[in-house]
């Protein structure tokens, strides 16, 4: 007994004096709270509680600088203030029309007690379903040029659990399949990274408003502790800025269920309101394109006998779009520069000169007459500087021709994008470093001046900037459908149920669904049923949705194609009815232009039965449910095309039983009838 007491006493004496809580803020409904601590050496940290329980243990804050001593210790609390905010704002387009932005904010100033006496502000916005915090570097004499060597922000997940993540700093940028591992086995992850703790809590880590800064990854320090791993810059500093400036928000979405994460508006809410004014020219749309045939290697981007972007082929696509109610036709390989090794030769691309067998002016006029627009394509092979040299001319040309949307592309291995340094030299850059984030902002602003929306592939990550710049209409930034055309492996059946609860938490994705031709260049082919391909239009949110397959596959299958013709791309509400990360999910969305609802459900490689209550429908109203479900023999391996299409009348009191085949899904259009 005495021995034990002595052991305890020695332990207590040896432990450093503990940190003191200096500030605290709770969310409006008291669900989440955050605390800021200072230890006796003046090191700041924060922690997060949910319903009084710690979910993020004390985690470090601070910076290593390149041109000055680190900003990490010897701080005292200088001042603190709080405020509450509650507004509902309207999205010009989106997964829902009205968004409530309701939080309590804590602003703290830490100032060094001696030496340079520099200050660093930390701002927390605490919502009931998540937290954002950021640093603000105030204007001050002893810290004007900020050269960040490393951000020291940590996230110490308090409980063990499972993580869904893709690796950071690998050559293939953001195009990886999701790992599912214990939290303790994560390496260096990109964000969003989603975890489910063993007691069932779901937390997604990401960032919001990534502007003129470098993208954040999360490096595991062991035992559930993660540290910000900023993307390197083009020289020793990861970020160079002049104070005053804020960092992006570091975000945690927190919910009891996976579906709760997908319902959160945190990332959008932490971005600034629309800066572009009237954006009625930004139009959500469905499109077809000269695209999948190149990925199947039935046609080429390059000129020659197999050139895809010929006048005749594009005309055929315009006619098909007009006949089937699609607004856009994407044309890839229309411009000079694709011949030879285009991956490595970004300098060869002209963004204004079409190949001779593509009549740009004539086709643009033809499309306009038929009520369709061409969607432009600018593959840069990552040579951002070369693109910037031509960007203004390219956007002027498109504006003159009535082209209002451009798909850009940055195919280059990670770290191999090319930007122009201050001295004019070409420097190699990471896709998510500060230089490329500056580049994307220049593209968005130039495009906006010409009333053009941008859909970037191989982009920088989505951090909700579409709120501020609504012409950021979509992006890729994950493994899209193209991998099922040529990848080995193609996207596995669990892929989309992973995406909904990871990548999609960041924002819309141009996934390019709608494939009926399941045999591809990939040895596995497309690993879904047809019904699941239809469900993807509801599950994967994007204001730009492609009907990606060859036109002949639609012409040969008009009945299932009808759902793709009908499904809208702009919604007044979205509800996640059920879901587990990587297993299954059911989402219902209400059309913004009518009283109709659409429902999509997908599963992984396991067949399952899900129940979907239609309680979201208007009570007392009847709806015609047009159901596209897996047929009795459907299976993504043996019989993907077995689809049953039927109708029945339903009301808000019905609960539907959804039978999903292995790798299957279900899509339902709910047409509002009279009462």
Residue 409 binds which one of ligand NOJ, Ca ion, none, with CB within 5 to 8 A depending on kind? Answer: ligand NOJ
The token pair at 63 is: 């910076």
Tell me which of 215, 409, 514, 663 binds ligand NOJ, using CB under 6 A: 409
Q: Tell me which residue has tokens 């660093």.
A: 120
Three-state SS at 443 = helix
Say how far apart CA 260 and CA 256 lie, in whole Å: 7
Closest C-alpha among 371, 388, 35, 434 to residue 230: 434
Provide, rounded to whole angstroms, the least separation between the CB of residue 338 and ligand NOJ: 9
Min separation Cβ 483 and Ca ion, Å: 8
Angle at 264 between CA 259 and CA 265, to 5 degrees: 155
> Six-digit token pair at 595?
């009283």
Q: Tell me the residue number closest to Ca ion, measured at CB.
A: 457
User: Which position among 99, 411, 427, 575 is part of the footprint of ligand NOJ (CB under 6 A)?
Assistant: 411
Size of the site for ligand NOJ (CB under 6 A): 9
Instruction: Give the residue with the Cβ less far from Ca ion, 206 or 457.
Output: 457
Q: Quick one: tokens of 175?
A: 């195009």
Q: Check if 272 is active-site.
A: no
Element (H, E) at 341: none
Looking at residues 576 to 635 of the shown chain, list those that interact with ligand NOJ (rule: CB under 6 A): none
Nearer to ligand NOJ, 296 or 322 (CB): 296
Residue burial 426-441, b: 16+ Cβ < 10 Å; e: rest = ebebbbbbbbbbbbbb
- Exposed, middle or buried, 116 (CB in 10 Å: 0-12/13-18/19+)? middle
Binding mask 441-470 for Ca ion (x = CB under 5 A): ----------------x-------------
- 183 and 162 Cβ atoms separated by less than 8 Å: yes
* 332: partner contacted, choices ligand NOJ, Ca ion, none (Cβ within 5-8 A by kind): ligand NOJ
Q: 110 near 135, Cβ under 8 Å?
A: no
Catalytic, out of 151, 482, 494, 496: 482
Residues 582 and 596: beta-carbon distance below 8 Å: no
Nearer Cβ to ligand NOJ (74/408): 408
Residue 330 · residue 380 · CB < 8 Å: no
CB-nearer residue toward Ca ion: 317 or 457? 457
Q: Position of tokens 């993660």?
A: 226
Binding mask 369-408 for ligand NOJ (x = CB under 6 A): ----------x-----------------------------
- Token pair for residue 5? 């007491």
Select 379 or 494, whichever has its Cβ closest to ligand NOJ: 379
Quick one: 309 or 643, whose CB is closer to ligand NOJ? 309
Name the minimum Å distance from CB 408 to ligand NOJ. 9
CB 530 within 8 A of CB 486: no
- The interface with ligand NOJ within residues 444-503 (CB under 6 A) comprises 457, 476, 480, 482
Nearest Cα residue to 597 out of 544, 535, 668: 668
HSE-up (13 A, CA, CB side) for residue 359: 9
Which of residues 487 and 662 has its CB atom nearest to Ca ion in the complex? 487
Residues 6+ apart with CB under 8 A from 563: 534, 537, 626, 628, 667, 669
The Cα 501–Cα 194 span in angstroms is 7
Nearer to Ca ion, 207 or 482 (CB): 482
> Per DSSP, what are the bridge partners of residue 59?
46
379 binds, among ligand NOJ, Ca ion, none (CB under 5 to 8 A by kind): ligand NOJ
Q: Output the smallest distance, CB 64 to ligand NOJ, in A.
A: 36
> By C-beta, is 503 or 669 nearer to ligand NOJ?
503
| Contact positions with Ca ion (CB under 5 A) in 370-399 | none
**Shorter beta-carbon distance to Ca ion: residue 237 or 412:** 412
**Which residues have CB under 8 Å from 367's CB, separation 6+?**
318, 321, 329, 373, 374, 402
Q: In the bound complex, what is the minimum distance in angstroms from residue 391's beta carbon to ligand NOJ?
A: 17
Asked if the peptide bond before residue 162 counts as cis, ω within 30 degrees of 0, the response is: no
- Partner touching 663 among ligand NOJ, Ca ion, none, CB below 5 to 8 Å by kind: none
> Measured between alpha carbons, how far is residue 195 from residues 45, 82, 176 in Å?
22, 30, 18
Cα 127 to Cα 59: distance, rounded to the nearest angstrom: 19
Count other C-beta atoms under 10 Å from residue 381's C-beta: 26
332 contacts ligand NOJ (rule: CB under 6 A): yes
Site map (CB under 6 A) of ligand NOJ, residues 284-303, x = contact: -------x------------
Burial class (CB in 10 A: 0-12, 13-18, 19+), 117: middle
Question: How distant, in Å, are the alpha carbons of 5, 59, 72 from that of 17?
Answer: 20, 17, 18
Q: Does 99 bind ligand NOJ (CB under 6 A)?
A: no
Question: For 342-480, where are the E strands, in sequence order?
Answer: 373-379, 405-409, 417-420, 426-429, 453-457, 472-475
Q: Does 192 bind ligand NOJ (CB under 6 A)?
A: no
Considering beta carbons, is residue 287 or 571 the nearer one to ligand NOJ?
287
Which of 35, 4, 3, 1 is closest to 20 using CA atoms?
35
Least distance from ligand NOJ to the Cβ atom of residue 122, Å: 38
Shortest reach from residue 638's CB to ligand NOJ, in Å = 29
| 8 Å CB contact between 510 and 474 | yes
- Per the DSSP assignment, residues forming a β-bridge with 252 are 131, 205
* β 373-379/328-331 pair status: parallel
Binding site for ligand NOJ (CB under 6 A): 291, 332, 379, 409, 411, 457, 476, 480, 482
Catalytic positions, please? 482
Binding site for Ca ion (CB under 5 A): 457
């Amino acid at each position: 007994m005495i021995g034990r007491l002595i052991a305890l006493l020695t332990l207590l004496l040896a432990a450093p004096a503990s940190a003191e809580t200096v500030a605290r803020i709770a969310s409006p409904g008291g669900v989440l709270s955050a605390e800021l601590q200072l230890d006796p050496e003046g090191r700041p940290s924060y922690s997060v509680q949910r319903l009084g329980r710690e979910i993020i243990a004390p985690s470090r804050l601070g910076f290593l600088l390149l041109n000055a001593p680190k900003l990490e210790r010897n701080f005292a609390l200088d001042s603190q203030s709080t405020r509450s905010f509650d507004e509902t704002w309207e999205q010009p387009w989106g997964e829902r029309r009205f968004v409530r932005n309701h939080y309590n904010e804590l602003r703290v100033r830490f100032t060094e007690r001696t030496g340079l006496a520099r200050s660093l502000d930390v701002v927390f916005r605490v919502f009931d379903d998540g937290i954002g915090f950021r640093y603000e570097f105030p204007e001050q004499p002893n810290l004007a040029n900020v050269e960040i060597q490393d951000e020291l922000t940590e996230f110490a997940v308090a409980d063990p659990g499972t993580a869904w993540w893709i690796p950071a700093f690998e050559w293939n940028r953001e195009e990886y399949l999701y790992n599912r591992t214990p939290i303790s086995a994560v390496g260096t992850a990109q964000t969003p990274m989603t975890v489910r703790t063993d007691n069932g809590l779901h937390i997604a880590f990401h960032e919001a408003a990534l502007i003129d800064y470098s993208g954040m990854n999360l490096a595991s320090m062991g035992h559930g502790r993660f540290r910000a791993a900023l993307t390197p810059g083009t020289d020793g500093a990861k970020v160079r800025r002049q104070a005053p400036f804020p960092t992006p928000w570091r975000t945690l979405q927190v919910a009891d269920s996976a579906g709760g994460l997908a319902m959160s508006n945190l990332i959008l809410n932490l971005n600034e309101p629309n800066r572009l004014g009237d954006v009625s020219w930004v139009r959500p749309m469905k499109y077809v394109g000269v695209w999948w045939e190149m990925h199947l290697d039935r046609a080429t981007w390059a000129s020659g006998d197999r050139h895809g972007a010929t006048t005749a082929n594009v005309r055929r696509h315009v006619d098909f779009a007009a006949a089937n109610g699609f607004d856009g036709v994407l044309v890839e390989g229309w411009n000079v520069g694709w011949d030879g090794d285009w991956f490595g030769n970004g300098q060869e691309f002209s963004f204004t000169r079409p190949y001779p067998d593509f009549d740009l002016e004539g086709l643009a006029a033809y499309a306009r007459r038929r009520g369709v627009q061409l969607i432009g394509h600018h593959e840069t092979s990552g040579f951002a500087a070369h693109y910037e040299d031509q960007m203004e001319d390219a956007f002027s040309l498109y504006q003159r021709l009535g082209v209002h949307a451009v798909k850009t592309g940055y195919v280059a291995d990670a770290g191999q994008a090319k930007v122009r340094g201050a001295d004019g030299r070409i420097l190699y850059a990471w896709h998510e470093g500060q230089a490329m984030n500056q580049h994307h902002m220049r593209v968005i602003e130039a495009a906006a001046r010409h009333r053009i929306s941008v859909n970037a592939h191989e982009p920088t990550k989505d951090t909700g900037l579409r709120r501020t710049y609504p012409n950021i209409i979509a992006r890729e930034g994950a493994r899209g459908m193209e991998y099922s055309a040529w990848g080995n492996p193609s996207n596995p059946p669990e892929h989309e149920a992973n995406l909904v609860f990871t990548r999609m938490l960041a924002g819309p994705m141009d996934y390019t669904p709608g494939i009926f031709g399941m045999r591809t260049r990939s040895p596995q082919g497309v690993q879904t049923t047809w019904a699941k391909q239809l469900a993807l239009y509801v599950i994967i949110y994007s204001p730009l949705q492609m009907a990606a397959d060859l036109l002949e596959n639609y012409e040969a299958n008009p009945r299932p194609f009808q759902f793709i013709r009908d499904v809208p791309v702009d919604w007044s509400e979205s509800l996640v009815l059920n879901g587990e990360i990587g297993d299954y999910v059911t989402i219902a969305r209400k059309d913004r232009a009518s009283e109709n609802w659409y429902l999509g459900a997908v599963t992984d490689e396991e067949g399952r039965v899900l129940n979907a209550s239609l309680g979201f429908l208007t009570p007392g109203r009847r709806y015609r449910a047009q159901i596209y479900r897996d047929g009795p023999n459907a299976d993504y391996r043996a019989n993907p095309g077995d689809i049953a299409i039927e109708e029945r009348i339903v009301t808000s009191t019905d609960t539907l039983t959804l039978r999903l085949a292995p790798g299957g899904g279900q899509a339902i259009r709910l047409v509002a009838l009279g009462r």
